[in-house]
């Protein structure tokens, strides 16, 4: 003997399960809030990375220009026969064949700009002490960072070759 179980299909509104293919307003608000929080965190990470990149570029530009200017000064002063300080910001080597001067935020060697477009030379001072020349200059980065402009001051003494 087999038992047959019969399941009755209740179509009464009291027991009916309704399936909806959509979102409720509360679910939509929760999803929007989660998406907004995710985008705000992503924006914060992006701006922090951008600020770090700009600060790194500013520091790199200052370091490159200071090394380049010091190398140029070292080479030309060492290989020159004479040095004359025309003013505190103007140096003449080999009777005027090579002239360093500060003009409009740029360090010029015979009218050729030595610093890059990302920096400006705030000040330079040449002081002759015997057969040496003491040089002090300050570079400022033109790359805009959140912490303000970066500056770097260099000080060196270079000797003339006999």
Spell out the domain ranges in the chain: 25-159
Name residues whose C-beta falls within 8 Å of residue 136's C-beta, 6 or more positions apart in sequence.
123, 124, 125, 127, 153, 154, 155
Three-state SS at 43: helix
Please tell me the predicted confidence (pLDDT) of residue 90. Answer: 93
More confident residue, 22 or 24: 24
Mean pLDDT score of the chain, rounded to an integer? Answer: 87
Residue 20: pLDDT band by 50, 70, 90 thresholds?
low
Cβ atoms < 10 Å from Cβ of 33: 10
Per-residue burial over 97-134, b if 16 or more Cβ lie within 10 Å, else e, is: ebbbbbeeebbbbeeeeebeebbbbeebebeeeeeebe
Residues 70-126: tens digit of each pLDDT: 999 999 998 888 888 999 899 999 877 899 999 999 999 998 999 999 999 999 999
């Amino acid at each position: 003997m087999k038992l047959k179980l019969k399941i009755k299909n209740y179509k009464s509104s009291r027991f009916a399960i309704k399936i909806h293919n959509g979102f409720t307003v509360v679910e939509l608000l929760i999803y929007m809030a989660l998406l907004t929080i995710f985008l705000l965190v992503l924006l914060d990470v992006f701006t922090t990375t951008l600020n770090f990149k700009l600060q790194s570029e500013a520091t790199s530009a200052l370091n490159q220009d200071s090394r380049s200017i010091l190398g140029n000064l070292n080479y030309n002063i060492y290989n020159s026969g004479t040095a004359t300080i025309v003013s505190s910001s103007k140096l003449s080597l080999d009777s005027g064949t090579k002239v360093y001067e500060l003009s409009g935020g740029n360090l010029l060697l015979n009218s050729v700009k030595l610093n890059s477009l990302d920096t400006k030379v705030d000040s330079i001072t040449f002081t002759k002490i015997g057969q040496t020349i003491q040089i002090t200059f300050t570079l400022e980065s033109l790359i805009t960072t959140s912490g303000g402009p970066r500056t770097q001051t260099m000080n060196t003494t270079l000797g003339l070759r006999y």
